[in-house]
A and B are shown apart, each in its own frame.
Chain A
Amino acid sequence: MSRPVVAASAIEDGKVPFSWKQFLLKYNILIILLLICVVLSIYTNRFLTQENIINITRQVSINGILAIGMTVVILTGGIDLSVGSLVALSGVVTALLLRDQQMAILAVFPISLFVGLIMGSLNGYFVAYCRAAPFVVTLAMMTAARGLTYVISKGRPISPLPADFLFLGKGNLWIVPIPVIIFLLTFLLGYMLLRYFRIGRYLYAVGGNENAAIVSGINAKKVKLFAYAFSGALCGLAAVILTARVSAGLPQAGQSYELDAIAATVIGGTSLAGGRGRLWGTLVGALLLGVVNNGLDLMEITSFYQQIVKGVIILGAVLMDYKRNS
């Protein structure tokens, strides 16, 4: 008898009573990540070393950047399958300009981002203005952009690249790898965008209920176009890091990167139906994937098993999310 009374008075006070169950449900992925870290620290002696931790963050950063763009797209209720191909395309274009046109090192950022932005905008145009299904549009882009990459590169790796450029993928600032710095800045940008800018509210609104968003005066088409363009631009950013890290523009780079980005987003609790999700979740999701891969490496489990584990984690995360929302 007393429980409804508590709830009613809490509503009057404008406070929600604290409950452990709610807390555990809300932070479930973070808690699982921490638990895995504890277990790995105990069972391996190399996990909790500075070198390994930095290694994990470096490995996570590319997928992390892509997952930020993916989260923005999925928030609008869409999906972007072209991510991996756009990384390859931007990377190859940038590498060609570096090798053959002696482009200034810092110009790689605007160039690569621009390539991604244009291709992403194309995705967005077809999704928003032609009302085509995001899955199909970006699937077509995935195939076409990969083909274009092979055409431009003639199917061969683009190398050698200037040593100064390679620093962007391999170098450190003090002990922090440059890719990690770029990742964190991107995260900050994405977080600010979603939380403190009008466009952020609009992204959630369009994904949550497009009709209601339109009636509220939002140009839903523009918002969707923005989401895909943003994701495309982040592909360009990730391409710079990847190209520098492997010292070449590889036409076959980035295969199945889109799936890792989707995995990180979904593990982070973003709803594929759109309108729900937080960028923090995506960050934790990307870290979780990175830590698990690293842990399995350290425990000398072959990559075949790693894929099974990854599948189980994705499924588990989605089931937990389902439970939380029902």
Chain B
Amino acid sequence: MTDDKRLSPAPSKTAPILEMKGICKRFPGVLALDNVDFRLYPGKVHALMGENGAGKSTLMKVLAGLHTPDEGTITLSGQKIVIDAPRRAMEYGIAMIHQELNPVLEMTIAENLFLGREFIGPARFIDYRKMNREATKLLDYIGVDINPGKYMRELTVSQMQMVEIAKAVSYNANIIIMDEPTSAITTKEVDRLFEIIRLLKSENKCVIYITHKMDEIFAISDEITVFRDGRYIGTYDTDSINELELIRLMVARDLNEMFPEKTCQVGQVRLKVENLSRKGYFENVSFEVKAGEIFGLAGLIGAGRTEVVESIFGVHPPDSGRVLVDGAPIERYNPKSSIKKRMGLVTEDRKLSGLILPMNILDNIALPSLPQLSTAFGLLKVKQTAKVSTSFMESLRIKAPSHQTLVMNLSGGNQQKVILAKWMATEPSVMIFDEPTRGIDVGAKSEIYKLVVDMAARGVAIVMISSEMKEILGMCDRIMVMRQGSAVAIVERSDATQEGLLLHATGMADKSSPELLAPQAQTLKDASQAELGGRT
């Protein structure tokens, strides 16, 4: 697919205002950006596309001064620059609107807009009158009618988003980065946002636009740059590419040999979920998973997958619906009773909710099994605990000086293995994995895949959330796609294609021709290859 880079080189009408070359960024255990290039022309809206974890946000954080790149150069208007702090990015006229908003809730809109650059009056006091006046001007400019004296906490999320946009505008930035700006706003406000973007464009400013929503890309962008697995794939004129081609570029096509052969027989139903709902998060989700089966949950970030499994496991109890484990309905939703019912949950964020970082490996592995590893009186069976922990340490090949090593000192892959070990020690019959290989290196990934398949072979029913399409397709027997809190499709592995899943996940499936979702992936691929070839 390397030829794709030359698929449609954007004509160089003028010199680019910004050029990023050979950017590399490593995080412990992962290469987040691998020799990435990016360039931006004045007066253009440039969309960034790619799957979750493809490197879009990381690259933008480099540009906004939140990450320092390990290698590579940034050139702005022909001059090499170093952006080592967010403040520096602002000085260079680069502003970023983040996906997660972080306003100071206890301050007014005006105070938020001018945070850190308040107007100072003659007596060294803050000039609130001027601040509010300027804020009103700004809000008028972007067409939002809110009193700037209102406190941020009184606003809706979408109003906060608009304030955030006003703030970016107020910096007089030449380059404005918008990271999924429409994830929380209404359709009407999206139209408003697009008007603002066009306004900025007319003033020869650049907007970098990150989104997963295809229709927005085609509605507003001039150019599209695609990333995949931390690598630059190519830059294309929006007019010269269609949705299908774009999706093809986003997903890697080779299912390499990372995934182990799964040969086990599927048994009786172990986990049954009936019409599960949690208000504001997901609605009417039903599925069942059999012994030895790996059931995938696919979808974009925010589709409600994590929330579903958290409700099943009882971290946040559902409002309605039922969960049955081995035929018996769950009566009390909390992790403690779920563990008693032989469920386990490998959470999405191992540092936030997976591990006790300042504890050692032994204690972490033993933690959910302690009721079994202690007497009724609560006295620990020390020898047995150590035996269980060390046996899992060996069988999972957790690399550490000893089982007394604190898990905070382990690499990401080994930390993830500790989490797997702690659940394997409880001998679960239903195991839920939420992004089990996030942020770990390729070697550790394939080891984890093998462990998951081994568990299935021993009759465990497995639910696996992953945002990596490859992983979902390589591992799962059946796949449920979620979008905006609802299950939109359940697909057999043999019928599933990356394109089909992504179309479901982005909501394009309804608009696309039905044959795209059909199992004739091979012919489809050939056809579109020809199409792509024809255009070059």
Residues of A within 8 A of B (CB): 10-11, 14-16, 196-202, 204-205, 208-209, 211-219, 271, 275-276
Contact = CB atoms under 8 A, between A and B. Distances in A.
Nearest to A196: B380
A212 B315 CA distance: 11
A212 B354 contact: yes
Contact of B367 (A196, A197, A218, A219): A218
A214 B370 CA distance: 13
B356 A205 contact: yes
Contacts of B399: 11
Among A200, A202, A216, chain B packs the most CB atoms within 10 A around the CB of A216
Contact of B353 (A11, A199, A211): A211
Contacts of A196: 379-380, 382
Contacts of A199: 378
Contact of B352 (A211, A216, A275): A211
Contacts of B380: 196-198, 200-201
Nearest to A14: B402
Contact of A212 (B313, B338, B355, B378): B355
Interface in B84-116: none
The SS class assigned to the A binding surface is helix
B356 A275 contact: yes
Given A212-B355, A214-B335, A275-B356, A14 B370 contact: no
A201 B370 contact: yes
B401 A216 contact: no
Given A202-B370, A275-B358, 15 more contacts: A10-B401, A15-B402, A196-B380, A197-B379, A198-B379, A198-B380, A204-B356, A205-B363, A208-B358, A213-B367, A214-B315, A215-B313, A215-B345, A216-B368, A217-B336
Interface string B372-384: 0010001110100
A15 B354 CA distance: 27
A252 B338 CA distance: 50
Contacts of B315: 214-215
Interface of B: 313, 315, 335-336, 338-340, 345, 347, 352-359, 363, 366-368, 370-371, 374, 378-380, 382, 399-402, 422
A188 to B, nearest CB: 15
Nearest to A202: B370
Q: Which 7 pairs show the lowest CB-CB distances between chains A and B?
A: A208-B356, A211-B353, A217-B339, A217-B336, A216-B368, A275-B358, A216-B367
B378 A197 contact: yes
B356 A212 contact: yes
Contacts of A16: 401-402
A205 B359 contact: yes
30 contacts: A14-B401, A15-B402, A198-B370, A198-B371, A198-B378, A198-B379, A198-B380, A199-B378, A201-B363, A202-B370, A204-B356, A204-B358, A204-B363, A208-B358, A208-B359, A209-B352, A209-B353, A212-B353, A212-B354, A213-B367, A214-B335, A214-B353, A215-B313, A215-B347, A216-B335, A217-B335, A217-B340, A217-B368, A219-B336, A275-B358
A201 B368 CA distance: 11
Contacts of B401: 10-11, 14-16
B355 A209 contact: yes
Contacts of A213: 356, 367
Given A214-B315, A215-B315, A204 B402 contact: no
Nearest to B422: A216
Contacts of A209: 352-353, 355-357
A270 to B, nearest CB: 11
Contacts of A197: 374, 378-380
B347 to A, nearest CB: 6
Contacts of B363: 201, 204-205
